[in-house]
Amino acid sequence: MAATGREFFTVKTVSEALSGFRPAHVTPVETVALDGVCGRVPAGDLRAREALPGFDRSSVDGYAVRAADTYGASESIPGYLRLVGAVQMGTAAMEEVASGAAVAIPTGGMLPAGADAVVMIEHTAEATADAIEVTRPVAPGENVVRFDEDVAAGAAIASRGRPLRAQDVALLAAAGVVDVAVHKRPRVTILATGDEVVPPNTAGLSPGQVRDALSVSVGALVLEAGGEPSPPRIVPDEDGALREALATRIGVSDVVVICAGSSVGMRDQTAGAVAALPNSETWCHGLAIKPGKPTLLAQSNGVPIIGLPGNPRSALVVFRLIGMPVVRRVGGWTVEPLVGTIHAKLARDLPSAAGRLDVVQVRLDLDEDLAEPLFGSSALLSVLTRADGYVIVPEDANGLSAGEPVEVFPYG
Amino acid sequence: MAATGREFFTVKTVSEALSGFRPAHVTPVETVALDGVCGRVPAGDLRAREALPGFDRSSVDGYAVRAADTYGASESIPGYLRLVGAVQMGTAAMEEVASGAAVAIPTGGMLPAGADAVVMIEHTAEATADAIEVTRPVAPGENVVRFDEDVAAGAAIASRGRPLRAQDVALLAAAGVVDVAVHKRPRVTILATGDEVVPPNTAGLSPGQVRDALSVSVGALVLEAGGEPSPPRIVPDEDGALREALATRIGVSDVVVICAGSSVGMRDQTAGAVAALPNSETWCHGLAIKPGKPTLLAQSNGVPIIGLPGNPRSALVVFRLIGMPVVRRVGGWTVEPLVGTIHAKLARDLPSAAGRLDVVQVRLDLDEDLAEPLFGSSALLSVLTRADGYVIVPEDANGLSAGEPVEVFPYG
């Protein structure tokens, strides 16, 4: 344990890290078929080549009419219209709707020539085999989706940098955009460091050994952020091993995560290994966050390197707050995800030091709208697994009091 | 268009559907490796076979000591301790800590015999090559994670029916649970019906034709709910085609979704085709929801069948509210997901009829905390793609007024 390891030299706040740590690397572009694009990030704006809908359509089941023919119709004095045909789905209407005529039309059917509105079937009755009663008037355009009302030809239907949602995929399908240029998923190398760390499938542990809890769980968060985690790699503490692993992986990775590479014991090794990379820069070594202070943020040739604390709980907290946004940006996101919270009242006081962001795990009592803070060493994973979500005590707060309203970020 | 199609005979509310539509089918169990279990649903409680940690560990970088030796130490009058060794990671400590002695220990290191606490390195200084100064006292147990403090041997570390999160995966890895019995992903058959419907990759449309927007977008929501969508199938309106498709797919599916099978035009066909299935029951035909009223919920041999409205926007709204919970339950979920919302003020009045649940698409102005409702025909997909989220006007409300606080469910 070197004496130089006693201080954190370049501590930054979480908001400084989120706004200021911006390595330039972004993944290249690939073309993906429509059934795989939900959640993917378009590399450019996506446009409809043609108008949607491509013809005037009925938005209800009913009868295509001339609106003027229905004026004055009511339950007590219905209007009568001649039934001259029925629209078949998927084809142009055969009949024209002349004055006093009606054509049966299903939802989505193409409006026949002459008609300018559709009377809902609920506001009609069959009078005879070839006539209907209309019990409510319609205005011109009523129950009709006009040509190009949904999307004009050439209009943008999805924006670059914003991940596609189910409804975006629907609109792309409707517009016939079936191959989409999106950013590749970031390849994220996860290096677990430490002579004590053994693979999770190790049956019997020797004294002092622990199983690698982080590679697979950080990998799960990488997947959630749209990245692809590499297979786990455990790097021994011996001199040069981390340096070699980093040198090998940096060129084939879009993000590199070093688990436990930032504790006092590993700090000089990690700093040295990062400094040995081409065009490297250490952006911060130490974050004003609890838990998670021993976090390193660096880059090499614009590829982000994230050194996580040694405690699994701290590491997962930091990766969720700092690492996932980094993975998203490398994957082409230019917006922040919209994150909902659950509003609750704090069940007890939360002490906190100003100048530091605290991430407090809580259990929710939804019946009482209470958030119950869970305490315990940052080495305890069980505090995280018992939690329903977390509360953030911001940098400028001196703790929060019992009964105060808080926003809980749910784990889902 | 048959006369019998004019009414919805068995309309239920959304809350009735969520609580009352409970087909019995649940997917069988499979064993999945740890790197694939995040988001999957354990079929039984998962237990740690051994205690975690398996030995007393330091939670900080520092020195293992006897706490009593540090009492009274301060910045001005530090205590002095003999440095008798250093803990190597991954092995049992060699040295015993006698009174007046200290052993250097990194985060996660195994506490040496004789020691009962760890002084953080920040509260020490090197006095000589073989002695340290201690500037702050520690209590017994301080900065130590005790044997089994995280998890006792045999304790449950994840519950059946609740999907695994990243931290659960971490704890399973730490406990050496690398093969997990989870429910299989529900296989969801999606049938698009209608003579007007053509595959999304159709280049030129004939008059009256539309591309299938729903199969791929409902498929995206199926994936989000943990299911596996089948390849899209377009079923023509001709008699018997839907019946045949249902009969073929029901036995190899965990959920069946019929797109546009519930409009007036298709209703009798769908009802007949469902009724022809073995042990079938139609639970409701019509939901008190806007948009989305023409929704059918049925089952055959306990396998849910969901008939979605013909308008893509209505269909996506209904599938999100009703379909995704159905897929989750079939996939073994026994809890509801915790869903956060964004609190905002309504930018304008929202009319609504009591007795009906309204799903209103909104754009968010986060600077002003405003939710701006988006209006337009339920046939318009662009209303959904322009939205940042939606607001629910509950069944018992007669609309909401401008300025009222609302909870927005963000699309992410």
User: Coil, helix or strand for B197?
Assistant: strand
User: Coil, helix or strand for A158?
Assistant: strand
CB hemisphere CA count around A226 (13 angstroms): 29
Q: Are strands A144-145 and A29-33 parallel, antiparallel or unpaired?
A: unpaired
- The mean per-residue pLDDT over the stretch B168-189 comes to 97
Interface membership of A412 toward B (CB under 8 Å): yes
Q: Do B217 and A167 touch (CB under 8 A)?
A: yes
**Does residue A75 register a pLDDT over 90?**
yes
Residue B53 with chain A: CB contacts under 8 Å: 210, 379
Asked if residue B354 lies in contact with residue B395, where contact means CB atoms within 8 angstroms, the answer is yes
Phi and psi angles of residue A100, each rounded to the nearest 5 degrees, phi first: 85, 5
**Where is average pLDDT lowest: B24-28, B79-83, B290-294?**
B290-294
**Does residue A2 register a pLDDT over 90?**
no
Spatial separation of the C-alpha atoms in residues B214 and B257, rounded to whole Å: 10
Q: How is B91-157 classified by DSSP, letter by letter?
A: S--SS---TTEEEEE-TTPBPPTT--EEEEGGGEEEEETTEEEE-S---TTTTEE-TTSSB-TT-EE
Q: Do A176 and B337 touch (CB under 8 A)?
A: no
pTM of the predicted model as reported, rounded to 2 decimal places: 0.95
User: Coil, helix or strand for A385?
Assistant: helix
Spatial separation of the C-alpha atoms in residues A293 and A282, rounded to whole Å: 16
**Does residue B19 register a pLDDT over 90?**
yes
Looking at the DSSP assignment, which residues form a beta bridge with residue B228? B187
- A-facing residues of B in 239-278 (CB < 8 A) are 260, 263-265
Residue A298's pLDDT band (cuts 50, 70, 90): very high
For residue B36, count other CB atoms closer than 10 A to its CB.
14
Contacts 24+ apart (CB under 8 A), B384-388: B384/A167, B384/A170, B384/A171, B384/B313, B384/B316, B384/B317, B385/A157, B385/A158, B385/A165, B385/A167, B385/A168, B385/A171, B386/B361, B387/A167, B387/B361, B387/B362, B387/B363, B387/B411, B388/A338, B388/B362, B388/B363, B388/B364
**Does residue B1 register a pLDDT over 50?**
no
**Does residue B2 register a pLDDT over 50?**
no
Task: Report the sign of the C-alpha dihedral through residues A17, A19, A23, A29, in that order.
Answer: positive
Burial of A129 (C-beta count, 10 Å sphere; 0-12/13-18/19+): exposed
Of the candidates A282, A284, A319, which has an alpha carbon nearest to the alpha carbon of residue A8? Answer: A284
3-state secondary structure B30-97: EEEEHHHCCCCCECCCEECCCCECCCCEECCCEEEECHHHHCCCCCCCCEEEEEEEECCCCCCCCCCC
Q: Which of A211, A237, A313 sits opposite B176 (nearest CB)?
A: A211
Asked if residue B226 lies in contact with residue B185, where contact means CB atoms within 8 angstroms, the answer is yes
**Does residue B265 register a pLDDT over 70?**
no
CA distance B221 to chain A (A): 6
* Distances B173 to A212, B167, B260 between C-alpha atoms, Å: 7, 10, 45
pLDDT given at position A342 = 98
Q: Which of A38, A107, A343 sits opposite B220 (nearest CB)?
A: A38
Tokens of A110: 């193409």
* Distances A84 to A87, A98, A334, B86 between C-alpha atoms, Å: 10, 9, 55, 96
- Find all residues with CB under 8 Å of B295, minimum gap 6, and list them: B262, B284, B285, B286, B287, B289, B306, B307, B308, B309, B318, B322
pLDDT given at position B261 = 61
Asked if residue B133 lies in contact with residue B125, where contact means CB atoms within 8 angstroms, the answer is yes
- The mean per-residue pLDDT over the stretch A211-223 comes to 97
- ipTM, 2 decimals? 0.94
CA distance B279 to chain A (A): 31
Q: Tell me what the pLDDT averaged over chain A comes to.
A: 93
pLDDT given at position A262 = 55
In percent, how much of chain A has pLDDT > 70? 96
Looking at the DSSP assignment, which residues form a beta bridge with residue A133? A80, A125
Prior bond to A140 cis, omega within 30? no
Spatial separation of the C-alpha atoms in residues A52 and B381, rounded to whole Å: 10
Residue whose tokens read 């001339």: A66
Q: Tell me what the pLDDT averaged over chain B comes to.
A: 93
**Does residue B354 register a pLDDT over 80?**
yes
Q: How is A263-277 classified by DSSP, letter by letter?
A: SHHHHHHHHHHHHTS
Q: What is the pLDDT of residues A346-391, one digit of tens each?
A: 999 998 888 899 999 999 999 999 999 999 888 899 999 999 999 9
Q: Rg for chain B (alpha carbons), in Å?
A: 31
- The mean per-residue pLDDT over the stretch B62-86 comes to 96
**Does residue B283 register a pLDDT over 90?**
yes
pLDDT given at position B379 = 83
CA distance B47 to chain A (A): 13
pLDDT given at position A261 = 61
Q: What is the pLDDT of residues A89-141, one digit of tens each?
A: 899 988 899 999 999 998 889 999 999 999 999 999 999 999 999 999 999 99
**Does residue A6 register a pLDDT over 90?**
no
Interface membership of B379 toward A (CB under 8 Å): yes
Residue A33's pLDDT band (cuts 50, 70, 90): very high
Spatial separation of the C-alpha atoms in residues A91 and A81, rounded to whole Å: 23
Angle at B244 between CA B240 and CA B245, to 5 degrees: 120
Residue whose tokens read 């690397």: A25
User: Coil, helix or strand for A19?
Assistant: helix
Spatial separation of the C-alpha atoms in residues A36 and A38, rounded to whole Å: 6
- Find all residues with CB under 8 Å of B248, minimum gap 6, and list them: none
Q: Do B107 and A310 touch (CB under 8 A)?
A: yes
Q: What is the pLDDT of residues A259-279, one digit of tens each?
A: 976 555 666 788 889 999 999
Burial of A245 (C-beta count, 10 Å sphere; 0-12/13-18/19+): buried
- The mean per-residue pLDDT over the stretch B242-259 comes to 96
Asked if residue B368 lies in contact with residue B359, where contact means CB atoms within 8 angstroms, the answer is no
Sheet of strand A131-134, all strands in order from the earlier edge strand to the far edge: A117-120, A62-65, A101-105, A79-86, A131-134, A124-128
**DSSP strands (E only) in B186-251:** 187-193, 197-198, 210-211, 228-229, 233-235
Q: Which of B110, B208, B214 sits opposite A89 (nearest CB)?
A: B208
Of the candidates A34, A182, A143, which has an alpha carbon nearest to the alpha carbon of residue B223? Answer: A34
**Does residue B4 register a pLDDT over 60?**
no
For residue A372, count other CB atoms closer than 10 A to its CB.
17
In percent, how much of chain A has pLDDT > 90? 83
Selected residue of B56, B89, B144, B237 to mutate for chain A interface (largest A Cβ count, 10 A): B89
- Find all residues with CB under 8 Å of B76, minimum gap 6, and list them: none
Residue A24's pLDDT band (cuts 50, 70, 90): very high
Spatial separation of the C-alpha atoms in residues A132 and A119, rounded to whole Å: 11
pLDDT given at position B8 = 54
**Where is average pLDDT lowest: A5-19, A299-313, A350-364?**
A5-19
Residue with the larger pLDDT of the pair B397 and A303: A303
DSSP assignment letter at A5: G
Q: Do A173 and B340 touch (CB under 8 A)?
A: no
Residue B38 with chain A: CB contacts under 8 Å: 217, 220, 223-224
Interface membership of A223 toward B (CB under 8 Å): yes
pLDDT given at position B360 = 97
Q: Rg for chain A (alpha carbons), in Å?
A: 31
